[in-house]
Structure 1
Amino acid sequence: MLNTFQFQTSHDIPATKRGHERCVALLESATELFLSRGYDAVSLDDIVNHAGGSKASIYKYFGNKDGLFKAICDYRRIQFFEDISVTCDQKSIDLRTNLVTTLLNFYSHIQKPKNASFMKLIMEQGQRNPDIARHIHENGPLKIQQVVADSLKKAHESGLLYCENPLYSAQLYFGILRNLEWRIIIGVPLEQDDQEVFKYISYAVDRFLDGHQKG
């Protein structure tokens, strides 16, 4: 993780392992404080006192509090990709299984209370700051949609399905989870158990694939 995280919003990229560890400590401490107290109630002094180090490190690597929050979103996006994309590079797994498993992993990820709380925090900060909203959208949903779109494009080129607009199809694909995702974010109890969710996702993926066959 330390080697792959690029600190895209930083002013100065850490050059050493210790520097990376210091940055990750700041990100994790800030995340914990933001989730427990709320973004506005947490100061940079609070973060430094919790993580150790100095405010100079925050200014050096992230610029300011908003820059730190963007970096947290980048950091958690990488963790999110690791959580849901376990099967993407396993060529022995068929396309349907890959699509079903990705959505099941997505569902499992957003069900975790800390992840659901962070999604709420993202929505709040996106409404507060259009620049943050744009950064999150371009480096979050758009990136994962593009990953799926690339897979659908390859499947189209190999004749596994007919997909003339992979990006549109990727957006449609993630819409399968929209109702469940929204209920989790706003705190409405889910009526389905895990087995019912599996049946629903399997059914929806089958209909998705049916719609990508040549008539």
Structure 2
Amino acid sequence: MQDLAQLEPLARDLPQTKRGHERCVALLESGAELFLRHGYDAVSLDDIVNHAGGSKASIYKYFGNKEGLFKSICDYRRDQFFKDICVPFNPELSSFRNYLVQTLLNFQHHLNQPDKAAFMRLVLEQSQRNPDIAQHIHEHGPKQIQLAIATALETAHQKGLLVCEHPLFSAQFYFGILRNLEWKILMGLPNEETDQENINYINYCVDRFLDGHQKS
């Protein structure tokens, strides 16, 4: 179970007890399940409370309202999504090339999981309807993982492993390697490539990415 402090960015009123923590997590998980099953508009706070237990007072206390709950669900699932994808670069454990390849392979693996793809579609749908949600998702999702890779690139630059004068630009370019796969998944198209073909593709692209970050 998550540590209490890990809910701090998710809940506006951090639960102080184990029971409060469990109630908060139950609301996040139940809300995500119902939103995925029925769509955002078709789910009410009463539906979520009936599914998770507790009361609407808990939602108001921890998340403010339905929109606040949805934002927190997005943050909660983002943390789950990225916890094993983009770990800090440790030059003592891996070469930088292997680090970049493994990060994309981890990302691809998560993208291929149906529930994560479905949630991404739900997020995009709600982002089109609500600019505030769109801004929140971007600031706490794509932007954060880009910054994580930018930090790794800056570290590699300082250690002389490559030349990267604009780490954030390069991080955005790096994640573009998976853009085609990401769009196919979001549009519900089948991934026709084999696992080995995807591995070969990622290795090829990372090599070209690193070629572009060498001294001229």
2:62 paired with 1:61: yes
2:213 paired with 1:212: yes
Q: Give 1:12-31 correspondences, 5 Å limit.
A: 12-31=13-32
Q: Distance in 2 between matches of 1:73 and 1:90?
A: 32
State the secondary structure of the residue aligned to 2:190.
Answer: coil
Structure 1 residues 9 and 92 mapped into 2: Cα distance closer, same or farther (>3 Å)? closer
User: If the length of structure 2 is used for normalisation, what is the TM-score?
Assistant: 0.96
**TM-aligned CA deviation for residue 90 of structure 1:** 6.8
Question: Contact (CA 8 Å) 2:86, 2:145: kept in 1 or not?
Answer: no
Backbone CA RMSD of aligned residues: 1.3
- Alignment correspondent of 2:167: 166
Q: Distance in 2 between matches of 1:87 and 1:199?
A: 24
2:189 paired with 1:196: no
Which deviations, in whole Å up to 9, do the C-alpha atoms of 1:163-195 show, x marking residues without a partner? 000000000000000000110111111120111
Question: Contact (CA 8 Å) 2:86, 2:148: kept in 1 or not?
Answer: no
| Paired residue type of 1:197 | N
Q: Distance in 2 between matches of 1:78 and 1:36?
A: 21
- Alignment correspondent of 1:98: 99
Gaps of 5+ in 2: none
Report the count of equivalent residues: 215
Superposed structure 1 runs of 4+ greater than 4 Å apart: none
Q: Distance in 1 between matches of 2:169 and 2:27?
A: 37
- Alignment correspondent of 1:111: 112
**TM-aligned CA deviation for residue 4 of structure 1:** 4.9
User: If the length of structure 1 is used for normalisation, what is the TM-score?
Assistant: 0.96
Structure 1 residues 60 and 36 mapped into 2: Cα distance closer, same or farther (>3 Å)? same
Structure 1 residues 90 and 69 mapped into 2: Cα distance closer, same or farther (>3 Å)? farther
Structure 1 residues 74 and 90 mapped into 2: Cα distance closer, same or farther (>3 Å)? farther
| Paired residue type of 1:14 | P
| Paired residue type of 2:162 | L
- Alignment correspondent of 1:142: 143
Gaps of 5+ in 1: none
Q: Give 1:7-46 correspondences, 5 Å limit.
A: 7-8=8-9, 10-46=11-47
Question: Contact (CA 8 Å) 1:9, 1:67: kept in 2 or not?
Answer: no
Question: Contact (CA 8 Å) 1:99, 1:205: kept in 2 or not?
Answer: yes
State the secondary structure of the residue aligned to 2:16.
Answer: coil
**TM-aligned CA deviation for residue 16 of structure 1:** 1.6
| Paired residue type of 1:84 | I
Identity over aligned residues, as a percent? Answer: 65
| Paired residue type of 2:102 | T
Q: Distance in 2 between matches of 1:9 and 1:107?
A: 26
State the secondary structure of the residue aligned to 1:192.
Answer: coil
Structure 1 residues 89 and 29 mapped into 2: Cα distance closer, same or farther (>3 Å)? farther
Which deviations, in whole Å up to 9, do the C-alpha atoms of 1:26-76 show, x marking residues without a partner? 000010000000000000000000000000000000000000000001111
| Paired residue type of 1:30 | G
Q: Distance in 2 between matches of 1:4 and 1:11?
A: 12
Q: Distance in 2 between matches of 1:160 and 1:88?
A: 12
Question: Contact (CA 8 Å) 1:100, 1:205: kept in 2 or not?
Answer: yes
